[in-house]
Amino acid sequence: MIKPMPPEISLEALVAGDRAEFARLVDAYSDPIYRLGLRMLGTPQDAEDVLQNTFLNAMIHLPKFEGRSSLLTWLYRIASNEALMLIRKKKPEINLEDVSPSESDEDLKPLQFTDWSALPEDELLSGEGKQTLDRAIHTLPESLRIVFLLRDVEGLSIKETAEALNLTEVNVKTRLLRARLFLREQLSSYYGERLAHEVQND
Amino acid sequence: MTEHTHGNCENLLGSLSEYIDGELNPELCAEIEKHLAGCENCRVVLNTTKRTIDLVQTPTENPAMPTDVRERLFKRLNLDDYLNPK
């Protein structure tokens, strides 16, 4: 999933302040950064703010980039901070430290046991199916969503996700499990009903 | 369905993510697979969780950024002179 650094981008040139090189960096990575902003904040305007602030910050701090993580992980780290800061500003009531999608662990127990996993992909991702998936991702609490997006959508490793979010790997794993189970439950409600409907109509 | 204790389902649930990601040691994997063989509900949870992850990773889920957004970004970064070559 994760794109390696395009070979034509030189870290040395970036650190030295080469503008053409920075423009290439922007083109290589603005899509995933924009997408992350869109999925965290939910509106194109906020996603654009996250995108612009991420690359502005990157431009300012690149001369001090020490290369302890990959450049992309470093960009995701800046973008995640920007997104979370904007969420804090817009919705101060949200607890971003919260690792549970709901009040109690009991709610994590699976309730849906319909096996819809063999349904063909085009059926699962038909217009309504895709909307259900997007909606389900959007209903994930922010503290879980950011972990899920970095790990499962953008393809960072557990270690890279932990670095990007300044969390321990254990915390990332806990949040990831909760996010995955939460989404599974949401999708199972929807696809389970569709399956039952199909069986009835057969 | 084979007899099994509910505690085993909870153990599996706790390790589900790591099992899917292939991050568990062979002993734990074997233990989980033994449980899965006899527990249909856990098999369903495993299959549907894997499928959920597959679905979010399908390329249709990754729309590109609009061109006007790219233009404004380049302007904000004072990189207007590099707008053309993409």
Percentage of residues in chain B with pLDDT exceeding 70?
Answer: 86
**Using H for helix, E for strand and C for coil, what is the string for A10-69?**
CHHHHHCCCHHHHHHHHHHHHHHHHHHHHHHHCCHHHHHHHHHHHHHHHHHHHHHCCCCC
The full set of domain ranges for chain B reads: 6-82
Distance between B72 CA and the closest CA of chain A, angstroms: 9
Residues of chain A with CATH 1.10.10.10: 105-201
Question: Is A34 in Cβ contact with B82 (below 8 Å)?
Answer: no
Q: Is residue A83 within 8 Å of residue A42, measured between CB atoms?
A: no
Question: Is B57 in Cβ contact with A152 (below 8 Å)?
Answer: yes
* Chain A (97-136) residues lying within 8 Å, Cβ to Cβ, of chain B: 108-110, 112-117, 121, 124-125, 130, 133
Residue B2 has pLDDT above 50, yes or no: no
**For residue A96, which amino acid is it?**
L
Those residues whose C-beta lies under 8 Å from the C-beta of residue A19, and which sit 6 or more positions away, are B79, B82
* Chain A (72-91) residues lying within 8 Å, Cβ to Cβ, of chain B: none
- Which structure tokens are listed for B30? 């074997």
Residues of chain A with CATH 1.10.1740.10: 11-90
Among B40, B47, B52, the strongest candidate for a mutation testing the A interface, having the largest count of A CBs within 10 A, is: B52
Residue B10 has pLDDT above 80, yes or no: yes
Q: How much is the pLDDT for B70? A: 97
CATH of domain A105-201: 1.10.10.10
Residue A27, burial from CB neighbour count under 10 angstroms (0-12, 13-18, 19+): middle
Q: Does domain A11-90 bear CATH number 2.60.40.10?
A: no
Residue B16 has pLDDT above 90, yes or no: yes
Q: What are the average pLDDT values for consecutive 10-residue runs of chain A, which has 202 residues? A: 62 92 95 94 96 97 88 95 96 76 61 91 86 92 95 95 95 95 94 82 73
Q: How much is the pLDDT for B86? A: 52
